[in-house]
Structure 1
Amino acid sequence: MKDFVFHNSTKLIFGKDKEQLVGQESVAYGKKLLLHYGGGSIKESGLYDRVVQSLHEQDIEVFELGGVKPNPRVSLVREGVSLCKEHNIDFILAVGGGSVIDSAKAIAAGAKYDGDVWDFFTGKSTVKDCLPIGVVLTIPAAGSESSDGTVITNEDGLYKRATGHITMRPKFAILNPVLTYTLPSYQTACGITDMMAHILERYFTNEKNVELTDRLCEAALKTIINNAHTVLEDPTNYDARAEIMWSGTIAHNDLLGTGRIGDWASHDIEHEISGIYDIAHGAGLAIVFPAWMKYVYKHDINRFAQFANRVWDVEIDLNNLEKTALAGIQKTEQFFSSIGMPVTLKEANIGEEHFEEMAKKGTERGPLGNFVKLYEDDLIQIFHLAK
C-alpha cells in the first residue's frame, strides 16, 4: 500500500427534502450567488422554485445561468466567468448532475483567474483558487459532488479535457434520492455505468497489498449491480435509489483510491469519443471499458480473475485463470448491455473514420493509463476491439 493523504472536505447532506436546507447552507459563503443548472427539468419538477425560495429566505441575491449540456462546453463556462466577475459573485450553486457541477467548478476557477479558463485544461496554467461551490444533486453518476476535478469540452477542435484542484471540492452537497425518481431510464443507466467505471479505474492497479480498498471497491460494485435493475424497473423505489446515489458519491470521493494508483486510461479514451461524437459519458464508458479489459487483461490475470470471482461470482478455475478472467470481462459487458447501454461503437452509430484522430489526440500529451501504458497504436487497437 502506498502512502497517502485523504482529505475530503465536502459536507454531505443526505435524505428526503434536504434541498430545503440549501439557503442556510449557502448563506455562510456570501450574499451573491450564481445559480447554475441545465435545462427545464428542475423547473418542471418544482425543484427550482424550492431552491430559489430557500435562498431568498436567507436574503441571498440570485443570479442565474442555465443551459448546461451533457459534455459541458467551455463557451458557457466563459459566460459564467464573465457573470461572476461582473456581479462580484460570492458563491456558485450547481443544481443538476455531473455536467452542471463540472461547469460550475470551471466557472469557479475562471472567476479567480485573469486569463482564459481553458488555460487550466491545456496545462498552460494551474488552478490555485476557486469561488466556493455548493451542489443539489439530481443525477447520481459522475461523483463530481465531492470530487476535486472537472471535465469540459472545447467546441474549437472538439477537445474534452480535465483539470482539478482541492478548492474545487464543493463546500456541501445535498443528496435527496427522491429527486432522481423522474430520471429517464437511459440516463439512470448511464449514471450506473459511470460510477462503476470510477471504481474500476481504481480497482485495476499494479499496487500490491491493498486488500481493504479491493474489498471496498468490490462491495461498492456489487451494491450498484444488485440495485441497478430495481431502479430501472421501479424508479420510485427509495431504498434502491438511495443505494445507487450513495454509491455514486463513494465511487469518486477518493476513498476507494487510497493507497493505490488507479489507471484512468478508459476515461481518457472515452473523452476522445464523446468529444467528437457527443455521446453520453456513461454510454461511452460501457463501450470502452470491456474493450480495454480485453486488451490489457494478460498484464495481471490474477487481478482479473479476482475481479471475476468477487464481483461476478465466477468460480475460479485454478488450472485456467485466463478462462476465469475472460468470464469476468464477459459478465461486465453483458451487464452493461442488460441495462440498455451500448457495448460496441456500432451500437452507438460510430464508425472507424476518426480512430486515428482520436488516438493521436488522446496521446498527444503522452501515454495513457497506469495499469498498462497505452500509446497511439494501442488506442487504435482498442477502438477496433470496441467496433
Structure 2
Amino acid sequence: MLNFEFYCPTRVFFGRDQHKRVGEIIKSYGFKKVLLHYGEGSIKKTGLYDEVVKALNDAGIDFVELGGARPNPVLGLVRKGIEICRKENVDLVLAVGGGSAIDSGKAIAVGAANDCDPWLFFMKKREPERALPVGTILTLAATGSETSASAVITNEELKLKRGYNSDFHRPLFSILNPELTYTVSPYQTACGIVDIIMHTAERYLTQKGEAEVTDRIAEAVLKSTINAGRKALKNPRDYKARATLMWAGSISHNGLTGLGRDFFMVSHQIEHEISGMFEEVAHGAGLAVVFPAWMKYAYKYNIPRFCQYAVRVWNCEMDYANPENTAIAGIEATEKFFREIGMPTTMKELNINVTDENIEEMAEKCTNYGERTLPGYIEYGKKEIIDILKLCM
C-alpha cells in the first residue's frame, strides 16, 4: 500500500426532506448572503426552487440567484457568477442541481475570491489562495462533486474542457435527499450510473499499489451501483436504489476508493476532449464509449488486475489456463451492462460526426499540444490516444 493522505471534510446531510433544512444549516454557519446557483430550470418545474427559497427566507438568509448552468458547464457563466458575487458581497455559493451546477458553483467560488481569471486555475497556470465557501443540494447521482475537490469547466471559445482539483472549493456541506432524483430521466440516470462506475473503476484498474481494503471498498461500490442502477431504471421511485446510487456517487469521487494506489483517469481525460468538442455529448455517455475502448487497449499491460476486476465485480469464471480470456470477459461484461442501461458504446451511437481530423485535434488537445503524456500502464501520447479514439468508432 502506497503512502496516502485522506481528507474529506464535507458535512453531509443525507435523507428525506433534508433539503428543507438548508436555511437553518446556512444560518448555523453565520453566513449572511448567498448566491443561489442552479441549472436550466428543472428545479423550478419540480418545486425544489420554491422549497429552497422558502427555507432561505424563513431563516432570514438574503440571496441573489444565477441560473443557466448546463451540462458541460461553461466558463462564460462562471465569469458572470463571479461578477455577481463581488458586486453583491456574497459570502456563500449554494449550488442546487447535479454535477454541472456544482462544478460551475465551485469555479465561481474560487474565482470570486482570487484576483485573476479562473481559467488560469484549470490550465494549471495559477494556484488559488482562497475561495468562497460552497454548499450544495444534490439532484442527480453521478459526478460525486458534492464531496470531491474537483471541478470541470468548458471554455466554450477554445472548445477545451478541463478539470481542476482544490480543497479550497470542496463543499463545506452537501445535502443529499434521494427523493430529489426521482424525476431524473432514464437517460440521465444511466449517465450517472456510468460516471459513478468510472470514478471507481479508473482508480481500481491501476498498476501501482496493493491495497486490499481499498479494493474491497471499490468492489462494493461497483457492485452496489450496478445492482441499484438496474432497480432505479426499472422503478424510478425506488428510494433504496436511489439512495444507494446517491451515496455511491459521493464515495466514488471523494478519494476513498483510490487510497493506497497511484492512479490517473485516462478515460476521463480522453472523454473531456469529446464532450469539449461536441457539447451535446453527456459526460457519462462519452465515458460509456471511451472506457471499453481504453480497456481493450490497456488490459494486456496488466492481465491479472483485469482478471480480478472480471471475477470480483462481474462474477466471471477464472480461466487459469488462459487468463486473458477472463480479462476480456470482464471488458465484455462492462460493455454489455452499458448497453443494457441504454448507454452508447460507439461514437456513432453518440450521434456525432467524428472525422480523422477531429480525432487528431482531440489527441493534440489531450496532450496539451505535446506538453504532456498521460501516465498509466504505459505513457499515453498522441499516437496512443488516437489509437484509443479509433477503437471508439
Alignment TM-score, normalising by the size of structure 2:
0.97
Displacement of 1:7 after TM fit?
1.0
Cross-structure match for 1:219: 220
Cross-structure match for 1:265: 266
Q: 2:330 aligns with which of 318, 328, 331?
A: 328
Displacement of 1:29 after TM fit?
4.4
Runs of at least 5 residues in structure 2 that lack an aligned partner in the other structure: none
Q: Is the 8 A contact 2:208 2:261 kept in 1?
A: yes
Q: Is the 8 A contact 2:138 2:177 kept in 1?
A: yes
For 1:7, give the aligned amino acid. Y
Task: Indicate the SS of the match to 2:345.
Answer: coil
For 2:360, give the aligned amino acid. E
Q: Is the 8 A contact 2:210 2:261 kept in 1?
A: no
Cross-structure match for 1:82: 83
Cross-structure match for 1:319: 321
Q: Distance in 2 between matches of 1:44 and 1:29?
A: 30
Task: Indicate the SS of the match to 2:60.
Answer: coil
Task: Indicate the SS of the match to 2:302.
Answer: helix
Alignment TM-score, normalising by the size of structure 1:
0.98
The answer to which of 367-376 and 258-267 deviates more is: 367-376
Cross-structure match for 1:22: 22
Task: Indicate the SS of the match to 1:150.
Answer: strand
Cross-structure match for 1:349: 351
For 2:384, give the aligned amino acid. D
Q: Distance in 2 between matches of 1:234 and 1:264?
A: 32
Q: Is the 8 A contact 1:262 1:371 kept in 2?
A: no
2:359 paired with 1:358: no
Q: 2:294 aligns with which of 280, 292, 302?
A: 292
2:346 paired with 1:340: no
Task: Indicate the SS of the match to 1:209.
Answer: coil
Cross-structure match for 1:148: 149
The answer to which of 70-79 and 201-210 deviates more is: 201-210
2:380 paired with 1:374: yes
Map 1:50-199; keep pairs closer than 5 Å. Answer: 50-199=51-200
For 1:385, give the aligned amino acid. L
RMSD of aligned Cα (Å): 0.9
The answer to which of 203-212 and 43-52 deviates more is: 203-212
Displacement of 1:159 after TM fit?
0.3
Q: Distance in 2 between matches of 1:194 and 1:290?
A: 13
Displacement of 1:349 after TM fit?
2.2
Displacement of 1:57 after TM fit?
1.4
Q: How many pairs align?
A: 387
Runs of at least 5 residues in structure 1 that lack an aligned partner in the other structure: none
Please list the CA deviations of residues 91-150 of structure 1 after superposition, one character each: whole Å capped at 9, or x if unmatched.
010000000000000000000111111111112211221100000000010000000110
Q: Distance in 1 between matches of 2:242 and 2:174?
A: 17
Displacement of 1:372 after TM fit?
2.9
Structure 1: 4+ residue segments shifted above 6 A: none
Please list the CA deviations of residues 327-350 of structure 1 after superposition, one character each: whole Å capped at 9, or x if unmatched.
000000010011010000111123
Judged with a 3 Å threshold, the aligned counterparts in structure 2 of structure 1 residues 356 and 212 are, in CA distance, closer, same or farther, namely: same
Q: Distance in 1 between matches of 2:346 and 2:264?
A: 21
Q: Distance in 1 between matches of 2:320 and 2:246?
A: 37
Q: Distance in 1 between matches of 2:312 and 2:63?
A: 49
Displacement of 1:284 after TM fit?
0.3
Please list the CA deviations of residues 271-301 of structure 1 after superposition, one character each: whole Å capped at 9, or x if unmatched.
0000011110000000000000000101100
Task: Indicate the SS of the match to 1:108.
Answer: helix
Judged with a 3 Å threshold, the aligned counterparts in structure 2 of structure 1 residues 99 and 212 are, in CA distance, closer, same or farther, namely: same
Identity %: 51
For 1:25, give the aligned amino acid. I
Q: Is the 8 A contact 1:128 1:165 kept in 2?
A: no
Cross-structure match for 1:233: 234
Q: Is the 8 A contact 1:283 1:342 kept in 2?
A: yes
Cross-structure match for 1:47: 48
Q: Distance in 2 between matches of 1:36 and 1:153?
A: 17
Displacement of 1:323 after TM fit?
0.4
